[in-house]
Amino acid sequence: DSGVTQTPKHLITATGQRVTLRCSPRSGDLSVYWYQQSLDQGLQFLIQYYNGEERAKGNILERFSAQQFPDLHSELNLSSLELGDSALYFCASSAGTAIYNEQFFGPGTRLTVL
């Protein structure tokens, strides 16, 4: 158990819909990262927040947005869903902001768009 929690574990929805994925970091960690993992794209970095502020940004689609709240939990919002958005979405947390800070990954949310 990494100490990072993600909800829900599974999510099934239809194209065009909007969903919110939630992540609670390890106690004491200030950084939260979001990754998308699909069979054809591998692990793709989406975005990083540190203590509420956006710190790094990957190739996150404009239909996707995220935020980190004062209690440090984070939400990833996916809207106008397409079939290709079906994937595993991982949240990770770390103590600091740099790449040498070990990232602890949650169990993931499996999103299926029908």
> Per-residue string for binding with other proteins, 41-70, x by CB under 8 A?
-xxxx--x------xxxxx-----------
- Is position 90 an interface residue for other proteins (rule: CB under 8 A)? yes
The 8-class DSSP code of residue 15 comes to: T
Give the amino acid at 101: N
> What string of DSSP letters covers 24-69?
EPPTT--EEEEEEEETTTEEEEEEEEETTEEEEE-S--TTEEEEE-
Pick the closer one to other proteins by CB: 70 or 100. 100
- Is position 95 an interface residue for other proteins (rule: CB under 8 A)? no
For residue 107, what are the contacts with CB-CB under 8 A and spacing of at least 6?
A: 4, 5, 6, 9
Among 24, 76, 78, 106, binds other proteins (CB under 8 A): 106
- Is position 107 an interface residue for other proteins (rule: CB under 8 A)? yes
Closest CA to 109 of 1, 18, 3, 19: 19
Pick the closer one to other proteins by CB: 18 or 57. 57
* CA distance from start to end of the chain: 31
The window from 22-30, 64-72, 75-83, 95-103 that contacts other proteins (CB under 8 A) reads 95-103
Which residues in this chain contact other proteins in the complex, by CB under 8 A? Answer: 2, 4, 33, 35, 42-45, 48, 55-59, 90, 92, 98-100, 102-108
